[in-house]
């Protein structure tokens, strides 16, 4: 963390991207998202620099952005023998439109245990944090509320009811006081489970709802109106298999809480063809839009998994080494994840590609919206490679 009273003030040098005419709110001619990647996550205490983390908890409470936990490879890449390290640091960004954003040195800002790949969602009371990994294939069912105490300059926690199963890489969203958790990875399998926790109930307990139509992890969950009332959209994802080669998804499922049923909607599409997408992020915009900025289309991911499966099967050491060399070449030449911006209109059930992110797309992270700002903190930009950057998008009305 930063030394006491040391702040980093960020001036935004924005790259403007016109998103869509009449896009986010009725009565407006057009809007823009201006992107910046100037904001950098601080170095953890005792470390010379920040290399970034994937699988963070992230959200907004009481005027700050909280970015907690995550995992990375600080010593070497996994194919070089590097071990994944899990973290418990919490970084606190003061959100002030007039003075600029600044990092705060918070008191004892750490999770109770090092953790990554949980799910998190912002509600008025704080950031709900759900499940996660505490080690390789070691999953948690713990749920807690993370809050910012401005008077004490500290992060505080409140325990919430535990999930019925341990889970990681699940999708989460909320409608009012109800938290919805879809899919993820649980012990020994990929989950099709769908849960709801009503925090306004007298005795909140997790309720098991009809399963999502496909067992999958690394999906995006967004609550948005279908034109009548708010529904839960679970978009994209992937499903690991016994062969070691995952099935990739372009699916778009809508859960209607009024009738407690799933409906299959138009799949992720660039306007011409369906597009697989996993480990991405999403946000509801305006009355009936969902924006997906970036994600993994799975093309290289699928090839890497295929190499791993073949390497595990071959008997010849020379053949193994040849396949390993080909796989490493593929990884080294990885160009990064999809930078495409996909827009979904829930009322019309229509997708389109509306542009690209100006910098490397970040996956296995959590998008957070605050006022007119979108934050995409840290995450993975290539296999094994994290970024310390926080991409910031500012939604501006057309000033013409």
The span from the CA of 8 to the CA of 41, in Å, is 10
The span from the CA of 170 to the CA of 121, in Å, is 12
Q: Are 109 and 155 in contact (CB under 8 A)?
A: yes
- Give residue 242's pLDDT: 79
Token duo for residue 232? 């839960």
The span from the CA of 107 to the CA of 257, in Å, is 41
Helix (H) or strand (E) holding 332: helix 317-332
What is the per-residue burial (b if ≥16 Cβ within 10 Å, else e) of 187-226? eeebbbbbbbbbbeeeeeebeebeebebbbbbbbbbbbeb
- Give residue 31's pLDDT: 53
Query: How many CA atoms lie less than 13 Å away from 241 in the CB half-sphere?
Result: 10
DSSP state at residue 38: E
- Give residue 80's pLDDT: 87
DSSP state at residue 78: G
* pTM: predicted TM-score of the whole model, two decimal places: 0.90
Q: Which domains does the chain have, with CATH numbers?
A: 20-297+337-397 (2.120.10.80)
Rg (the chain; Cα; Å): 20
DSSP string, 156-186: EEEEEPPPSS-BBS-EEEEETTEEEEE--EE
Q: Are 325 and 319 in contact (CB under 8 A)?
A: no
Bridge partners (DSSP) of residue 261 are 256
234 burial type by CB count under 10 A (0-12 exposed, 13-18 middle, 19+ buried): buried
Look-up: residue for tokens 């008025």?
124
- Give residue 241's pLDDT: 83
Strands 389-397 and 30-40: antiparallel
Residues 6 or more apart in contact with residue 266 via CB below 8 angstroms: 252, 349, 350, 351
- Give residue 70's pLDDT: 98
Token duo for residue 208? 């098991």
Residues 6 or more apart in contact with residue 7 via CB below 8 angstroms: 94, 102, 103, 104
- Give residue 153's pLDDT: 96
- Give residue 400's pLDDT: 33
pLDDT tens string for the chain (400 positions)? 333 333 333 333 333 334 443 444 443 333 579 999 899 999 998 889 999 999 999 999 999 999 999 999 999 988 888 999 999 999 999 999 899 999 998 988 999 999 999 999 999 999 999 999 998 889 999 999 999 999 999 999 999 999 999 999 999 999 999 999 999 999 889 999 999 999 999 999 999 999 999 999 999 999 999 999 999 999 999 999 877 778 999 999 999 999 999 999 999 998 889 999 999 999 999 999 999 999 998 777 767 777 777 777 888 888 878 877 776 877 777 888 999 999 999 999 999 999 999 999 999 999 999 999 999 999 999 999 999 999 999 988 743 3
């Amino acid at each position: 963390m930063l030394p006491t009273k040391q702040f980093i003030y960020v001036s935004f040098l924005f790259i403007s991207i016109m998103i869509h005419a009449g896009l986010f709110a009725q009565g407006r001619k057009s809007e823009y998202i201006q992107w910046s990647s100037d904001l950098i996550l601080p170095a953890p205490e005792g470390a010379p620099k920040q290399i970034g983390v994937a699988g963070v908890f992230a959200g907004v409470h009481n005027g700050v952005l909280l970015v907690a936990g995550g995992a990375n490879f600080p010593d070497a890449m996994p194919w070089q023998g590097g071990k994944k390290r899990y973290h418990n640091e919490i970084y606190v960004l003061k959100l002030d439109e007039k003075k600029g954003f600044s990092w705060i040195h918070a008191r004892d800002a750490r999770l109770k245990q090092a953790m990554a790949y949980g799910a998190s969602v912002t509600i008025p009371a704080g950031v709900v944090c759900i499940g996660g990994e505490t080690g390789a294939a070691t999953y948690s069912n713990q749920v807690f509320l993370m809050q910012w105490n401005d008077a004490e300059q500290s992060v505080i926690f409140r325990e919430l009811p535990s999930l019925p199963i341990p889970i990681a890489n699940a999708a989460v969203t909320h409608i009012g006081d109800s938290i919805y958790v879809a899919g993820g990875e649980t012990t020994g399998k990929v989950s099709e489970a769908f849960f709801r926790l009503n925090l306004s109930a007298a005795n909140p307990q997790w309720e098991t709802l009809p399963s999502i139509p496909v067992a999958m992890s690394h999906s995006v969950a967004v609550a948005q109106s279908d034109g009548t009332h708010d529904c839960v959209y679970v978009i994209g994802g992937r499903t690991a298999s016994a062969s070691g080669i995952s099935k990739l998804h372009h699916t778009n499922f809508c859960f209607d809480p009024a009738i407690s049923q799933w409906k299959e909607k138009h799949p992720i599409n660039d306007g011409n063809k369906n597009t697989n997408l996993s480990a991405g992020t999403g946000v509801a915009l305006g009355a009936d839009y969902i924006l997906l900025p970036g994600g993994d289309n799975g093309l290289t991911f699928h090839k890497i998994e295929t190499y791993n499966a073949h390497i595990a099967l071959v008997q010849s050491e020379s053949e193994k080494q040849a396949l390993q060399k080909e796989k490493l070449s593929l990884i080294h030449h990885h160009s990064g994840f999809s930078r495409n911006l996909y827009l979904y209109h829930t009322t019309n059930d229509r997708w389109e590609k509306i542009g690209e992110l100006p910098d490397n797309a970040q996956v296995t992270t959590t998008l957070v919206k605050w006022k007119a700002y979108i934050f995409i903190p840290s995450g993975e930009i290539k296999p094994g490679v994290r970024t310390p950057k926080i991409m910031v998008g500012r939604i501006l009305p057309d000033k013409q």
